[in-house]
Each structure stands twice: as structure tokens, then as C-alpha cells.
Amino acid sequence: MLRWTARCIGVAAALVWLVPLVGAVFDSESEDDASPVEAVGVVGLALANVVAVAISLRREGLGGRILLVTGTLFCLFALATAGRNHAFAAAVSGGPFVLTGGLFVLAARTGPAPRPPSGRGVP
């Protein structure tokens, strides 16, 4: 149950950040008020978190530790650059990744993921 909760939250958070990242690639006439440093920071940290989620799906312990680091960095970046509601910005940007990383680390400590039956012979 812990593994599937981590996977669902992680994939959902990654998809939430992938949509604007892909949109930004195709939006050539963006008129944002954000500075280039903020844009590069958000894109870099969001991509790092998405890659960490992908790693977590294969290697829970390693990916979970990476998610804890990158999610915390994303929270700190949001705290430093948010105009208003710093706590909300940190919770929305990096919070799901920190939560997912913690769940993956806990899942890795409980042992390997159960494998489905091979279908050969009697189990």
C-alpha cells in the first residue's frame, strides 16, 4: 500500500509539473513577469524532480533520497522567490515531492516490492 501511494502521488506531481514545462517549450511569445533566473530555477528543479520520480519507480531507495533532496531544494527556492504566500508556494511546489521521497524511502526499508507470480506451475 505504501509503495502504491508513493507511486500515485509521485506520478501525479510529475504530471502536474510536466504540463507547464511542455507548454513553455511551445509558447514562444511568453510575457511573464518572472526573471530568467526564476524561470531557469523552476524548470531545472521541476525537471530534476520529474527525473527523480522516474528513478524512484525503478529503484525506490535511491530515487526516494534524490526526491527528498530535490523536493527540499524546490521548497526552498519557492520560499525565496515567491511574491506572496511563501508557505503555500513551498507546499505546492516541492511538498508533494518531499512527501513522495519520504514514502519511497520508507517503502524501500520495508523490503523489496512483491513480484507477481510467474505463471509457471504451482506457486
What are the CB-based long-range contacts (under 8 Å, 24+) for 82-88? none
CA-CA distance, 36 to 18, in Å (whole number)? 19
| Locus of grid cell 504451482 | 122
Q: Per-domain residue ranges for the chain?
A: 2-19+40-109
Distance between CA atoms of residues 103 and 101, nearest Å: 5
Tens-binned pLDDT, residue by residue, of the chain (123 aa): 888 999 999 999 999 988 877 776 676 555 555 677 777 888 889 999 999 999 999 999 999 999 999 999 999 999 988 888 888 988 898 999 999 999 999 999 887 766 666 666 555
Evaluate the CA torsion angle 58, 60, 62, 65 in order and state its sign. positive
pTM of the model: 0.79
